Structure 1
Amino acid sequence: MTAPPTAKGEATRQRIMEAATAEFAQHGIAGARVDRVAAAARTNKAQLYSYFGSKDQLFDTVFAASMQHVMDVVPISADDLADWAVRLYDEYLVRPDLIRLATWARLERRPAGHLMDERIDEPKLAAIAAAQSAGAIDTGDTGDTGGPGGTQVDPFDVMAMVIAMSMAWSPVSNVYAATADEPARTHRRRRDFLRDAVRRAFAPD
């Protein structure tokens, strides 16, 4: 039985997204080839362009979807940043392509400043700020205001630090890139170390 046009079109679009995710993750934006994406998705370039307009727009769609995936699969636990960091570590093992997409976006799109629309971080930042106010995590007084007590570390900097710690063994590490094929005991050791390090960094006074 032939699927309805809308269902068939959505299936084609999804195949393009999956093929493009793999292509961009491996080759970056400049190195990716639309003809390879179309072939892998079992469609043609005309159909691809009808859905996404251009290679750049295709990358933007793929990258946005990858970031949304991470937010959906690994939601922040602002009152347990250590747990969040460990879950991010595990997601990088399962989906190394997602972290590679972010790296290509940094190299080829936004070499400075925010990597993506700042609005995507707003829920995480609000959660961290609430946890700071509740005393669940260290407020991180920096003492740079000249007054008593200093000032609270910006929630964005807290988020950035936890993410950086979670990426210590990520596919784009400058030291060592972990893979899911390594022994389970190795991953347990890293998780324990990461969890302890984040807890020590952000433990309440």
Structure 2
Amino acid sequence: MPYDSAATRARLLDAAYAEFSARGLAGARVDRIAAEARANKQAIYAYFGSKDGLFDAMLAVRMSTLADAAPFTPEDLPAYAGALFDALQANPDILRLTQWAWLERTDVTPAEIDSHQSKAKAIAAASSVALSEARAMDIFILVVGLCTAWSTTAPALRALSSQASHRAAVVAATAATVSALTAAD
């Protein structure tokens, strides 16, 4: 059977997703990732350079998948909030993975900054009122916070509300936030 490097790389990324989301960057083990991917441990270093490089590549793939599942719509932020909420509920390990990254890494990459700034600029451009980029960034941060709140809330509190009810609240709160913060600028 011929060697398929693309398939090996994909298996490594999938195994890394499971390992990193369960154990974080510090707790993840290259041996477990390689074994789960049915690959040689050296393949990780050949494809990704290091465990950190594998983490970065896997995170980029998963963030791209999340962006595809919840396309950013600055002209309709409540719809975006609903789509992002749905995507996070369908893929709870993505949120866990980002939380590990926030806990274990203090550096912010230029690509992350650019991504967030471009969203704030798009929100400002889509607004029907003159909106500063700083206010647009506040709106974006609040929308993301609303979407992630359900998953990061204590299970006992989540048990007191349905996921559908919370989704509706996220969409309504996003609409109210956009309305309030565009009027206040």
TM value normalised by structure 1: 0.77
Q: Deviations over 1:115-146 (max 9, x none)?
A: 963122243222201122x33xx94xxxxxxx
Structure with bigger gyration radius = 1
Alignment-derived partner of residue 200 in structure 1: 176
Q: What corresponds to 2:99 in structure 1?
A: 103
Q: Conserved in 1, the CA contact under 8 Å of 2:71 and 2:80?
A: yes
Cα gap change, 1:153 to 1:109, in 2 (>3 Å): closer
> Match of 2:116?
121
Segments of 5+ residues of structure 1 without an aligned counterpart are: 140-150
- CA distance, structure 2, for counterparts of residue 73 and residue 190 of structure 1: 19
Residue 112 of structure 2 corresponds to residue 131 of structure 1: no
Consecutive unaligned residues of structure 2, counting only runs of 5 or more, are: none
TM-score (norm 2): 0.85
Question: Quick one: distance in 1 between partners of 2:109 and 2:86?
Answer: 24
Larger proportion of helix: 2
Distance (Å, rounded) in 2 between the aligned partners of 1:200 and 1:51: 46
Aligned length: 180
Distance 2:156 2:73 in 1: 25
Distance verdict in 2 for CA 1:115–1:168, change over 3 Å: farther
Q: Helix, strand or coil: the match of 1:117?
A: helix
Superimposed CA distance per residue, residues 53-73 of structure 1 (whole angstroms, 9 cap, x where no aligned partner): 111111111112222222222
Cα shift at 1:88: 1.1
Aligned partners of 2:85 and 2:149: how far apart in 1?
A: 9
Q: Matches of residues 10-29 of structure 1 in structure 2 within 5 Å?
A: 10-29=6-25
Matched, 1:78 2:69: no
Distance 1:96 1:38, change over 3 A: same
